[in-house]
Structure 1
């Protein structure tokens, strides 16, 4: 994360109106789309020479549409995952809802809390490669499968599982844009019969996993990055939680890390829970010097992956921009030795 990205982006595809808007906002020293810089960051100039291009991504998109999934579902190598997870305060349990339905046909359930490091008291921390492979084999996924992940909210917990598969070097993994709500809205087939968990057959597969450690940011590394200020730290929690106006839902200290930038994850989504098109996503990050690299953080490592997916769509796909602070606010705020700031 301390190295500058060598990725080059160009202004040739930008409209004159967009360029004029960026220049005018730079002159006024304004933020963009609700982005807030943490205290201590000081003035950050807008770098129009590092604005995003609207060119096609260098690789396949990380999201697919309902129409695309409907076609892919006919292939035996397509595995569909319901990765629904909900904040404890909602009272919703993803697995129970999956069993009752409705579901995308032939979907299996991925339990974020089960596929975690159960020796760590923090919520759903990444498991070891061995434990991840064991769990993925248990739900019936092979090395050569194409994995499609969705959730019942639209775009909430599915990107976390997408990021986990990428972290463990499974290349063919995608997020269903808009999740189950989009599938239902499209009028596509559903499974509505309740599943008896005891009747599910044993699955024998050959999934293997290997870690990409550069994608995972430890607590110690995070403290170093905060102190150095050389890497962008995206805090994707709500503005109210970032500023400390709202209490933390887990009863922790409220506020944010020094040098953090607030980019609430809902800024990269539309009103239907779909990822914004690239032309709109680029404006979310217009005020950020992306050459510095990015580490994303949230409350417990889930929603940070939504913003990681957004950056992936814009072509920022290496560990320099896909790093997740897994311990997130749950770990930072629990450490009395870590500074917590309030306000913008």
Structure 2
């Protein structure tokens, strides 16, 4: 069943205004400081959700998936409770890295999480409220721990042993599973999981970086053999999260994220 993943700017604006949703910026830019850009211009009331820092620092990966405790502590620091309100996640460039923040929140049990369709560029183009300036990012005063209780949805992820098994099965002619790498072709060609199919995530977005209809997304996925049992992967788990979000948006309940992605595969499997 198709899941509501993306939320339009008008609906998001209304929810933020009436206090029924938090809004977070989970941008991770390659060549600029994402936090500084957040301070320069953000959706009014937005919190900065650093996917570069909310990670397992003990793992030898750039963006290792956080542990239960690490994630909970990070949410307490930025004051993002799991209290029943919706959470709207956006990216400063459009769709970008918003899905990584979305995927982490979904995995740890936040029930109503959405990606802002068109991101900050569409929000700004429509003249919707923004703000500037620095604010406290990490709080240390006491909180009600009951508002930050989370749980893990292990079914969202697969680990490297499962991926290796699927690769071996595919090499033996078993095509029940597909591995999808939604990075741009030049990044895919620099290294990927064996047998992975490259279909760039940008294929599923319009020129203004809004998402195409669920029917269009589903058809494109099926045309490339990516409509059934699918494992999403990339280099560090960011594009893989977007691929997973697109699978859920299309109505596919048989998709999973390989969060370690090619960075882990290369380290452990060569």
CA contact 2:183–2:201 (8 Å) conserved in 1: yes
The equivalent residue for 1:327 is 260
The change in CA–CA distance for 1:188 and 1:283 in structure 2 (over 3 A counts) is same
Following superposition, the deviation at residue 197 of structure 1 comes to 3.7
The equivalent residue for 1:65 is 8
- Scaled by the length of structure 1, what TM-score is found? 0.71
| Partner residue of 1:83 out of 12, 16, 26 | 26
Following superposition, the deviation at residue 76 of structure 1 comes to 2.8
Following superposition, the deviation at residue 222 of structure 1 comes to 1.3
| Partner residue of 1:117 out of 26, 31, 56 | 56
CA contact 2:192–2:234 (8 Å) conserved in 1: no
Q: Distance in 1 between matches of 2:73 and 2:127?
A: 35
The equivalent residue for 1:239 is 185
The equivalent residue for 2:129 is 189
Q: Distance in 2 between matches of 1:79 and 1:329?
A: 32
Q: Distance in 2 between matches of 1:199 and 1:123?
A: 22
- Scaled by the length of structure 2, what TM-score is found? 0.89
| Partner residue of 1:108 out of 35, 47, 60 | 47
Q: Does 1:74 align with 2:14?
A: no
Aligned-residue Cα RMSD (Å) equals 2.1
SS of the equivalent of 1:276 reads coil
Q: Distance in 2 between matches of 1:289 and 1:85?
A: 30
Following superposition, the deviation at residue 77 of structure 1 comes to 3.6
Q: Distance in 2 between matches of 1:198 and 1:212?
A: 27
Q: Distance in 2 between matches of 1:167 and 1:198?
A: 23
The equivalent residue for 1:45 is none
What per-residue deviation string (whole Å, max 9, x for no partner) do you get for residues 184-211 of structure 1?
A: 011111102x214479785835222111
Q: Does 1:314 align with 2:253?
A: no
Following superposition, the deviation at residue 58 of structure 1 comes to 4.9
For structure 2, which runs of at least 5 residues remain unmatched after alignment? Answer: 171-175
Q: Distance in 2 between matches of 1:208 and 1:258?
A: 38
The change in CA–CA distance for 1:200 and 1:164 in structure 2 (over 3 A counts) is closer
CA contact 1:138–1:203 (8 Å) conserved in 2: no
| Partner residue of 1:212 out of 141, 149, 153 | 153
Task: Please list every run of at least 4 consecutive aligned residues from structure 1 whose deviation after the TM superposition is greater than 6 angstroms.
Answer: 198-201
CA contact 2:79–2:139 (8 Å) conserved in 1: no
Q: Does 1:170 align with 2:106?
A: no
The equivalent residue for 1:270 is 206
What per-residue deviation string (whole Å, max 9, x for no partner) do you get for residues 145-193 of structure 1?
A: 210000101101111111111111211100100110010011111102x
The change in CA–CA distance for 1:154 and 1:140 in structure 2 (over 3 A counts) is same
Bigger radius of gyration among the two? 1
Q: Does 1:135 align with 2:68?
A: no
